[in-house]
Amino acid sequence: MKAKFISLEGGEGVGKTTNIKFIESLLIDKGMQVLLTREPGGTVLAEKIRALLLDKSQESIAESTELLMMFAARAQHIKHVIQPALDEGIWVLSDRFTDATYAYQGGGRGMDIGVIQWLENFIQADLRPDLTLLLDAPIDIGMQRAKNRGALDRFESEQMLFFTKVRDAYLALAKTSPARIKVVNAGQPLDKVQAEIKIHLSHLIND
């Protein structure tokens, strides 16, 4: 079977990191070779860009700078990690990908969607995830989980209105791409979240 590219998306603290490990173990049980990665990040240079993006102690980052840094990190990630893995038959699981740019920079920051689409086509050509699991939960649940985990980064320190726009943008994306983006109710206990994830994965594997 051709290797597939799966991304996990959602707001802060909804459980992407927790569930990506669950997905990895499900796929390994099915005999797939799996690469776990994340955005922004995934290569040495892209992880340096991530550290700059999440650091709130430096000069304020202009919105256009933030957008270009996301795509600069993504270009490295695709060239050095994602595409080579897929070419070798390795399934790729990414904790966030370009839907996060549409949700955070497009929805949250209000940046021009046309510019994001242009950058997506320029950087990715026709590379898109085969399946995107959008973990959706009320914002206060995710933020409480993130707070319990420790100090908040530059994005997590945004105001409620920002996260509302991000969540709305994600749900709008899911409506426009229902075949690729599957919404999972991440406000439930973990076993129920994982039961939903398992159903979506089995459809992908059996396709």
d(CA 125, CA 122): 6
CB of 36 vs ligand T5A, minimal distance in Å: 12
Rounded to the nearest angstrom, the gap between the alpha carbon of residue 77 and the centroid of all alpha carbons in its chain is: 13
Among 119, 134, 193, 197, binds ligand T5A (CB under 6 A): 193
Q: Residue 34 or 142: which CB sits closer to ligand T5A?
A: 142
The DSSP H or E segment spanning 92 is strand 91-95
CB of 156 to ligand T5A, least distance (A): 6
* Residue 129 within binding range of ligand T5A, rule CB under 6 A: no
Alpha helical stretches, state H, the chain: 16-29, 44-54, 63-77, 83-87, 98-100, 113-124, 139-149, 160-176, 190-206
Give the binding range for ligand T5A (CB under 6 A) out of 114-122, 125-133, 185-193, 196-204.
185-193
CA atoms of 201 and 207, how far apart (whole Å) = 10
Residue 88 or 168: the one with the smaller Cβ distance to ligand T5A is: 168
Shortest distance in whole angstroms from residue 70 CB to ligand T5A: 4
Size of the site for ligand T5A (CB under 6 A): 26
